[in-house]
């Protein structure tokens, strides 16, 4: 895998967490992550909590068409301090609260 990789797109995949965990060991500095039509699950800490912890410098995040069984899965998103682009199109999200500093 190219060490200069800064953008990743994952479509229709059932094991998104495994892909992201693999990338952590490769020391990839992701700036943009696009996950489309995947199941985000309901586990604690959950896939988004892991994304926020592992890729704190994300500038763009797209979760188009992703499903979650509980709305709290989306709560870690506001902790991405460099995030300037967020796409939640076609997600079943009841609410996402973003507080400005």
How do residues 42-94 score in pLDDT, each as one tens digit? 554 577 888 888 888 999 999 898 877 566 777 888 899 999 999 988 876 65
Whether residue 67 lies inside any domain: the answer is yes
The number of distinct structural domains making up the chain is 1
Whether residue 94 lies inside any domain: the answer is no
Contact indicator for 59, 78 with CB cutoff of 8 Å: no
63 by Cβ neighbours in 10 Å (0-12 / 13-18 / 19+) ranks as: buried
Containing structural domain, residue 55 = 7-87
Confirm whether pTM is higher than 0.85.
Answer: no
Whether residue 33 lies inside any domain: the answer is yes
């Amino acid at each position: 895998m190219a060490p200069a990789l800064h953008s990743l797109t994952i479509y229709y995949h059932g094991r998104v967490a495994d892909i992201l965990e693999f990338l952590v060991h490769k020391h990839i500095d992701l700036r943009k992550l696009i996950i489309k039509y995947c199941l985000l699950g309901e586990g604690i800490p959950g896939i988004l909590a892991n994304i926020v912890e592992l890729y704190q410098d994300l500038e763009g995040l797209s979760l188009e068409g992703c499903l979650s069984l509980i709305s709290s899965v989306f709560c870690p998103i506001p902790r991405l301090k460099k995030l300037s682009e967020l796409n939640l199109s076609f997600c079943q999200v009841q609410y996402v609260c973003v507080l400005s500093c």
